[in-house]
Chains A and B, each alone.
Chain A
Amino acid sequence: MSLLASILATLLWLAKLLALWVLKPFFVVMFAMNVAVILTWADRRQGAMIQDRVGPNRAVAWLPTRWAQAFVVLPALGVVAAIGFMLVKLEPAPEVRATRALLFCQLGILFTWLTGVFIAGRVQVRGVRSSFDAWIYSLGDPRRIFYGGLAAHVLTLFVAVTFEGAAAEQLTDIQYGGGAGLLIFAILFGAGYAAFSIRNEPRIGLRLAGLLHPAADGLKTIFKEDFIPPNADRMLHSLAPFISFFPALVVMAVIPFGDSLCFSGVSSKDFGELLPLMPANGVCPGVQYPLQVVSVDVGLLYFFALAGTGIVGAALAGWASDNKYSLLGGLRAASQMVSYEVTMGLTLVGAVMIYGSLRVDDMILWQRDHAWGIFVQPFAFFLFFAAAVAESKRIPFDIPEGESEIVAGYFTEYSGMKFAMFFFAEYIAVVTSSGLMSALFLGGWDLPYLRPDGLHVTFGGNQMFELALPHVLVVVVGALGFVLKTITLCWLQLMIRWTLPRFRYDQLMRLGWRKLLPASLANVFVTGLLVLGVASAGITVGRFVDLLGDCSRAFVALGGIAGFVYFVTFLLRPVHKPQTLASSSAQFAASAGGTRSVRMGA
């Protein structure tokens, strides 16, 4: 019996170890591939939105109304059950009780105003149908609900920080119960309202804004004919897509997607338990679990070395296809990528001089302690961005593809899944280059004032606000920040694709060798001078530089909050459109209540 138990324990330990080491690569690969798939959709969708078209949104899965209601209500019930379990069974330690109470409160307020704004928006669009609708309509502009929610957020935070002693304990009790109650109420009410408001629909179309399209496209490409030209080099022709696909995927390995998790154990063989709270100095007392697939000293060089081999795939595809256009495209791809590789490397020399390391995780730590790379090396950021777009062979630098001149360039002779792999590799390259840029210039998983043990708002050495946060929460929020930054940069690359026309080939080469390359060299020299100057200057200059770092952090934090507020108010701004009833068809439409949302007939 004890043998069985020990075998079970060993198996459990092995599974735990395996999970810990397999999860990271799995997460990174899934992240890169899924974001790439979503990007293929987002690209088309974005192009449509920019040109006032609808774009691909016709793929739809019809759900019976009962199922749709279940999909809304069951997860909500699950979350509520989890919160209830936390309330009843998991009484927190006294030192984290106040934090958890505040979190409950803030989440409760967040979900309350989100639900309110959601319902108010629906009522605005489809009119008042019940007395509750009438009440929420009488509140007026949905932006008022949002402002009320913001005020409640700030007020609770302020109250929680100012109270001390016995009053604080009492307040914690109120916040603990009240916050959790509000959270449960908001979730249940929102889900209930959504389920109730769709009860009369015959069926619910699951469109996911058109996200079913890339899935359908992926399935389609797998089953399409795989054509190889008769005189092509069969092996190289088949190998090329893999050669360009593989490096695009593996370069994510050196980019950390979150702060290290800290365990209480002593060695990587026995992790022990996750620390509930990090010590104030931020140094992990146990064993660290870096959220990065491999942490190698050559970090950045690994990225460039592997990203560089992507050229081979494109060149091979062009050569092996036995097609003049493919060959031209392959040659263009090779020369373009080699040219821009030089600029890419040189723009980062300045950043590497400042960070003092080639490891991407060290660079992020430096940025957390000083300032984000975009403030330290703004010029390098723009140069690197341009070079990275050129490196991923995308508009305005998609001359290797050049469909107006050379059909489709190096993948002219590809079809089915091999073609899709080239396409996919291109989008994955967008994701990985965005990931690298967010790690090098936007602080990676670092968010302003978020230290390992919690929130510390400081300016010029003065502690202005302090809040201890659970270790897991800090790491998860940081990882979400990294994902958000990466997606924003991807989005920016797509936006550039839909804004700029394609360069001519000589313009591309001139831009690369005569503009970007000298500019990046100048950046290296200026950065070197500045680094030497700051290092040899006195303590006053050092203090001034630190103050600049504080300013940058405050700028990011305040700008982020202001941007969020502006964005939400933009979303909630009511629309007023001029209506014209000039024709009899418009009169018919008006008498039918408009044709905006006429349901599909039988």
Chain B
Amino acid sequence: MKTETAPLGPKRVTGVPVDRPKRTAGVQTYIPEIAKGLGITMKHFFQNTKEMAFGQRNDPSLEAVADGINTVSYPEQKRPYPARFRGMHRLTQREDGSPRCVACLCCSTACPAQCIHIEAGEYPEGDPKRGYERFPKRFVIDELRCVFCGFCVEACPCDAIRMDTGIHASPYDSREQFIFEKDLLLSFPGRDGSHQTANPRHEPGEPTHPGIDREHGH
């Protein structure tokens, strides 16, 4: 029995013969071809000049596939980022303006770049929150080390850290300016303009608090 095997050695290249371009009288005299080329450049020139002059140029975000100038004239024009864009971090706030963060260190543990530094603080004696959660005395993110992976957001059990500011990494001129402290992180609103999140927060001691507390055991 004979089996088909591919021949050894380099594969044969089969080409398609292409005709040489026809050197007609028009091509040879060069002038009709110049006129054709001028026609094309003039068409683009007039169309684009008109659209620029009358403010009719393409919207670079909405009409990006249309003919014409699609340049984004940054920073006058900005292309909006997609909904899931991971921008600069923000710390979400509770209703009283304090951070939602409970200083559990999940985010700094999950961070592959180790750019999050948290110093946890205990609530004073007698505070209903004492013993249930802590608060961040310092919450520092080194935005130069950050790789914008979003693991911190996924790790957070309290929806306290988010990357939905829509702000891209900023160009500063010194390293110190990239060290974002707690107050700055708290000051960024989300893209919807809110400093809070849609997830409700149930403080210990409130009747809606779902878990165990000192009054309600299992």
Question: Other CB < 8 Å A-B pairs besides A46-B45, A121-B54, A589-B62, 7 of them?
Answer: A50-B45, A495-B42, A499-B37, A499-B40, A575-B56, A577-B59, A595-B59
- A 567-602 contacts with B by CB, 8 A: 570-571, 575, 577-581, 583-590, 592, 594-601
Taking CB atoms, residues of chain A closer than 8 Å to B67 are 52
* A579 and B69 contact, Cβ closer than 8 Å, known pairs A585-B79, A585-B81, A588-B83: no
* A52 and B52 contact, Cβ closer than 8 Å, known pairs A578-B63, A596-B57: no
- A571 engages B54 (CB within 8 Å): yes
Query: Could you show 20 A-B contacts with beta carbons less than 8 Å apart?
Result: A49-B45, A52-B44, A52-B69, A54-B71, A125-B54, A498-B41, A499-B37, A499-B38, A499-B41, A500-B37, A577-B59, A578-B65, A579-B59, A580-B63, A586-B62, A588-B83, A589-B79, A595-B60, A595-B72, A598-B77
Taking CB atoms, residues of chain A closer than 8 Å to B60 are 595-596
Does A496 belong to the interface (CB within 8 Å)?
yes
| Choice from A52, A382, A577, A594 contacting B61 with Cβ under 8 Å | A594
- A595 engages B79 (CB within 8 Å): yes
Does A53 belong to the interface (CB within 8 Å)?
yes
Taking CB atoms, residues of chain A closer than 8 Å to B109 are none
Encode B41-57 as 1/0 by CB contact (under 8 A) with A: 11011101111111111
- B41 engages A595 (CB within 8 Å): no
- B63 engages A589 (CB within 8 Å): no
Measured CB to CB, the nearest residue on chain B to A46 is B45
Does A209 belong to the interface (CB within 8 Å)?
yes
Encode B70-93 as 1/0 by CB contact (under 8 A) with A: 111101111111111100000000
Cα distance A572–B65 in the bound complex, in angstroms: 23
- Secondary structure dominating the interface of A: loop
- A495 engages B62 (CB within 8 Å): no
Does A126 belong to the interface (CB within 8 Å)?
yes
| Choice from B61, B71, B75, B84 contacting A589 with Cβ under 8 Å | B61
- A594 engages B62 (CB within 8 Å): yes
Cα distance A498–B48 in the bound complex, in angstroms: 15
Taking CB atoms, residues of chain B closer than 8 Å to A578 are 63, 65-66
Taking CB atoms, residues of chain A closer than 8 Å to B73 are 54
How far does the Cβ of A519 sit from chain B's closest Cβ, in whole Å? 11
Taking CB atoms, residues of chain B closer than 8 Å to A571 are 50, 54
Does B64 belong to the interface (CB within 8 Å)?
yes
- A495 engages B38 (CB within 8 Å): yes
Measured CB to CB, the nearest residue on chain B to A60 is B76
Does B204 belong to the interface (CB within 8 Å)?
no
Does B34 belong to the interface (CB within 8 Å)?
yes
Does B58 belong to the interface (CB within 8 Å)?
yes
- A595 engages B61 (CB within 8 Å): yes
- A590 engages B41 (CB within 8 Å): no
Taking CB atoms, residues of chain B closer than 8 Å to A580 are 62-65
Among the interface residues A209, A382, A589, A599, which one has the most CB atoms of the partner chain B within 10 A?
Answer: A589
- A49 engages B54 (CB within 8 Å): no
The 3 closest A-B pairs by CB, nearest first: A589-B61, A588-B80, A584-B83
Encode A64-102 as 1/0 by CB contact (under 8 A) with B: 000000000000000000000000000000000000000
Taking CB atoms, residues of chain A closer than 8 Å to B83 are 584-585, 587-588
Taking CB atoms, residues of chain B closer than 8 Å to A575 are 51, 56
Cα distance A452–B123 in the bound complex, in angstroms: 98
Cα distance A54–B56 in the bound complex, in angstroms: 13
Does B189 belong to the interface (CB within 8 Å)?
no
How far does the Cβ of A383 sit from chain B's closest Cβ, in whole Å? 11
Does B68 belong to the interface (CB within 8 Å)?
yes
How far does the Cβ of A378 sit from chain B's closest Cβ, in whole Å? 12
- A600 engages B46 (CB within 8 Å): no
- A495 engages B54 (CB within 8 Å): no
- A500 engages B68 (CB within 8 Å): no
Cα distance A590–B64 in the bound complex, in angstroms: 13
Cα distance A496–B38 in the bound complex, in angstroms: 7
How far does the Cβ of B93 sit from chain A's closest Cβ, in whole Å? 24
How far does the Cβ of B167 sit from chain A's closest Cβ, in whole Å? 12
| Choice from B63, B78, B82 contacting A583 with Cβ under 8 Å | B82
- B61 engages A586 (CB within 8 Å): yes
- A49 engages B52 (CB within 8 Å): yes
Taking CB atoms, residues of chain A closer than 8 Å to B84 are 584
Encode A208-240 as 1/0 by CB contact (under 8 A) with B: 010000000000000000000000000000000
Encode A491-506 as 1/0 by CB contact (under 8 A) with B: 0000110111000000
How far does the Cβ of B189 sit from chain A's closest Cβ, in whole Å? 15
* A49 and B48 contact, Cβ closer than 8 Å, known pairs A54-B73, A578-B65: yes
- B55 engages A49 (CB within 8 Å): no
- A592 engages B41 (CB within 8 Å): no
- B53 engages A209 (CB within 8 Å): yes
Among the interface residues A382, A570, A575, which one has the most CB atoms of the partner chain B within 10 A?
Answer: A575
Encode A31-73 as 1/0 by CB contact (under 8 A) with B: 0000000000000001001111110000000000000000000
Measured CB to CB, the nearest residue on chain B to A573 is B50
Measured CB to CB, the nearest residue on chain A to B63 is A577
* A585 and B45 contact, Cβ closer than 8 Å, known pairs A49-B52, A52-B70, A601-B75: no
- A590 engages B50 (CB within 8 Å): no
Taking CB atoms, residues of chain B closer than 8 Å to A585 are 61, 79-83, 85
How far does the Cβ of A491 sit from chain B's closest Cβ, in whole Å? 9
Taking CB atoms, residues of chain B closer than 8 Å to A495 are 38, 41-42, 45
| Choice from A50, A121, A570, A577 contacting B66 with Cβ under 8 Å | A577
Taking CB atoms, residues of chain B closer than 8 Å to A587 are 83
- B 1-36 contacts with A by CB, 8 A: 31, 34
Measured CB to CB, the nearest residue on chain A to B43 is A50
| Choice from A125, A579, A599, A601 contacting B62 with Cβ under 8 Å | A579
Among the interface residues A209, A499, A570, A571, which one has the most CB atoms of the partner chain B within 10 A?
Answer: A499
- B82 engages A584 (CB within 8 Å): yes
How far does the Cβ of A471 sit from chain B's closest Cβ, in whole Å? 35
Measured CB to CB, the nearest residue on chain A to B80 is A588
How far does the Cβ of A118 sit from chain B's closest Cβ, in whole Å? 10
Taking CB atoms, residues of chain A closer than 8 Å to B64 are 580
- A49 engages B82 (CB within 8 Å): no
- B75 engages A600 (CB within 8 Å): yes
Cα distance A53–B69 in the bound complex, in angstroms: 6
Cα distance A579–B60 in the bound complex, in angstroms: 10
Cα distance A327–B45 in the bound complex, in angstroms: 37
- B34 engages A499 (CB within 8 Å): yes
Cα distance A548–B182 in the bound complex, in angstroms: 87
Cα distance A581–B59 in the bound complex, in angstroms: 12
How far does the Cβ of A597 sit from chain B's closest Cβ, in whole Å? 7
- A596 engages B77 (CB within 8 Å): yes
Taking CB atoms, residues of chain A closer than 8 Å to B46 are 570
Measured CB to CB, the nearest residue on chain A to B85 is A585
Cα distance A253–B78 in the bound complex, in angstroms: 51
